[in-house]
Structure 1
Amino acid sequence: MTRNRIVLASALVAVATLVASVYVALWEPKSVTRTNLEVWSATDTTAISAVIDGFEASYPDIAVRYSEFNTSELQNAVLTAKKMPDLVISSAMDLQVKLVNQGFASRIEDLPATPEWSRWRDELFGFTQEPVALVYNREAFSGRQLPSTRSELASMIRDNPTFFDGRVGTYDIAVSGVGYMFATQDAQRGFQASRLVESLGRAKAKVYCCTSDMVEDVADGSLVLAYNVIGTYALAKVREDSRIGILLLADYALVFTRSVFVTQQSGNKAGAGAFVRFLLSNAGQTLLREHSSLFPLVDNVYEGQSFFETRFEGSTSLLPIRLRPSLLTWLDQRKKDKFLNDWEASMRRQGQP
């Protein structure tokens, strides 16, 4: 090739490269600078991922960074954090109220309307309503009557030691924050709670940190039933596994709400407020209903209690736990120590090691 042809070829390559680079520049989407939104949560990632995806689609300039804890770990993390997250989410309503009462939360305004029991001081907001349930092994109870009340359950466990011994489960309330809350709420409903704890102890009940572990052991037959499990998590498993049944007792079914607050030290309060508004909006609540194991809070997403009636056996006598300072009563250290000591003594005295 002659020198002139080499120069011409080089020029053509340069022009082609320039055209290509202009083409790419015209069609390549401009990069979006995204701000991070740090969320610390005691909620399974899979249960809330659809809401996070929906929020990020609505707010493409915000990237959610989601960290998962159990309820007690989450509270300790917030209390000892050198750098606070933007949002805190937990199922342990009492621990959330305590953190808000200690000044960790920021006020948010202009939120969608929600039930009065599910919000406190415009700083703490419930976004689900979830029943506390009993899970049982269907094969084990084939031909056996299921209990309909706590009184019946206590008597049934007491009168059938061969069937129940070592085969019932419940929360370890010394370890699980939400388990402790369920136990204290039961205690406020009368003497049947202490009678049931004694029966659980007599049956050498196994104690657990988490609903998921209890449900797994019910499914494989290690347990015949588990008491005071989070109904939404259990229902997600029931849909996949016909070995498990889920029951709401007729005397009452506690209903709790997962709650969220924006931290006082949040570095992205605008984004955090937008996330809370999205959670409580019709769009966010619909995502919970259709793409999550969690149950939505806002009534206009479903037709009243029929939402529960179509998903659970047994009662729809629902008893919401209110997001209020009264929850702090059982977090007073002396009261808590006494409650735990009495609970552990009942369990040990009746058969626990």
Structure 2
Amino acid sequence: MIRLLLAFLILVFLSPLARATDPGTLNILSATDTKAIKSLINKFELLNPDIHITYQEFDANELFETIRKHRDNPSYPVDIVISSAMDLQVKLVNEGMARPHSLVGAIDIEDWAQWRNELYGFTFEPLVLAYNKGMFPEAMHPKTRSDLASIMRDFPVFFNNRIGTYDIRDAGSGYLFATQDAIQSNQIFRLMESFGRANPRTYCCTSDILDDIARGKLILGYNLIGSYALARARQNPDIGVLMFNDYTIVMARTAFIHRDAVHVSHAKRFLDFLLSNAGQEAIAKNSDLIPLLREYRTALAPFEDTSPFLPIHLGVGLLTYQDKLKKRNFLANWEASFLLKKLLLPQWSNRLRTKSVDSN
């Protein structure tokens, strides 16, 4: 009886550590919605029955800080790191947190989606505008970001407190997307000012914005991760997705093998799988993500000829807006734009009384 109790206590108190260090375990830390990637993980485990994946979900900034916090703790259980915040991934790799790996049996990967044989993009995910079809009439749909800014300025009552986007102060991916917008267009702060006048709601992540679009709390959401938005639109006919004609930024979800990975061979097999032909097909068929390989990007077929895709390039260039001074200045400009309505409250109140739009 005493032996049985002792065995039970060992199982209760040591099982998390035991699972993390078990030879058949692969520990993945990721800033990817679990429900979006779960089926893909199940597919890998089916093809590799000797490997069991332990998956932990974080937001992008939390993941970044967790990896840095444990940089001098080689016993911390992490084998693979996955994130949509490409700049934060580059920063970790640049700080020596990755183990090099030459892929085996990989597809032909374009230069923009790989860096130093350490960091690999395995998805192709455009940033989109998602909207509530019942609230946002087709006649109002913008073709460009300039159109969107004009529409928001012209119909303040209609959009007031019903636009969602990232709070880039806290959302790592949102900060990346905003800085990439600034690189592509010097008019982006005009758009941000229009957002500010519309009293926007800010969020941590795409899924929360999509939830409020579906509930009718929001008319639209800006710079959302396209894979999540398109998946939600397939499930909910009330949600629509737009991509602009001026440009569409594309994010690649990236992965690297951690420098102190315990299960290195398993990690290599997983990375090889993600970027193999079979893995790319599995991403298309067994997840809500969009694969890197064009022949499997069927979800983007309606947009391929109308939206100029501009992939974010992996490399040290992504560290520009991670510079402390640049980041502080960028966030200050963003906050000033988003606080514009409060600064102009008297003018705003007068305008609200005189302008409206029929939403039917």
TM-score (norm 1): 0.86
8 A contact 2:125–2:226 mirrored in 1? yes
8 A contact 1:150–1:196 mirrored in 2? yes
SS of corresponding position for 1:152: helix
- Shift of the 138–110 alpha-carbon distance from structure 1 to 2, 3 Å rule, reads closer
Alpha-carbon offset, residue 291 of structure 1:
1.8
Alpha-carbon offset, residue 53 of structure 1:
1.6
Structure 1 residue runs of 5 or longer lacking an equivalent are 1-32
> Once the two structures are superposed, what CA deviation does each residue of 1:83-127 show, in whole Å capped at 9, x if it has no partner?
150010000000000000000001001431312110000000000
Alpha-carbon offset, residue 313 of structure 1:
9.8
SS of corresponding position for 1:261: strand
- Shift of the 114–261 alpha-carbon distance from structure 1 to 2, 3 Å rule, reads same
- In structure 1, the residue matched to 2:24 is 35
- Within 2, Cα distance between the matches of 1:141 and 1:331? 36
8 A contact 2:103–2:271 mirrored in 1? no
SS of corresponding position for 1:131: strand
- In structure 2, the residue matched to 1:14 is none
- Within 2, Cα distance between the matches of 1:326 and 1:313? 27
Which residue, out of 322, 331, 351, partners 2:342? Answer: 351
- Within 1, Cα distance between the matches of 2:137 and 2:146? 21
Matched, 1:127 2:122: yes
- In structure 2, the residue matched to 1:109 is 102
- Shift of the 110–166 alpha-carbon distance from structure 1 to 2, 3 Å rule, reads closer
1:151-300 to structure 2, matched below 5 A, reads 151-300=146-295
More deviation in 319-328 or 214-223? 214-223
- In structure 2, the residue matched to 1:97 is 90
SS of corresponding position for 1:245: strand
- Within 2, Cα distance between the matches of 1:313 and 1:350? 37
8 A contact 2:140–2:151 mirrored in 1? no
> Once the two structures are superposed, what CA deviation does each residue of 1:157-202 show, in whole Å capped at 9, x if it has no partner?
0111111111111100001000000000001122221100000001
Alpha-carbon offset, residue 144 of structure 1:
3.3
The structure number with the bigger radius of gyration is 1
Which residue, out of 44, 63, 79, partners 1:86? Answer: 79
- In structure 1, the residue matched to 2:6 is none
Q: Name the Cα RMSD after superposition.
A: 1.7
Name the amino acid aligned to 1:345. A
8 A contact 1:249–1:314 mirrored in 2? no
8 A contact 1:246–1:313 mirrored in 2? no
Matched residues, percent identical?
46
TM-score (norm 2): 0.84
Structure 2 residue runs of 5 or longer lacking an equivalent are 1-21, 346-360
Name the amino acid aligned to 1:43. T
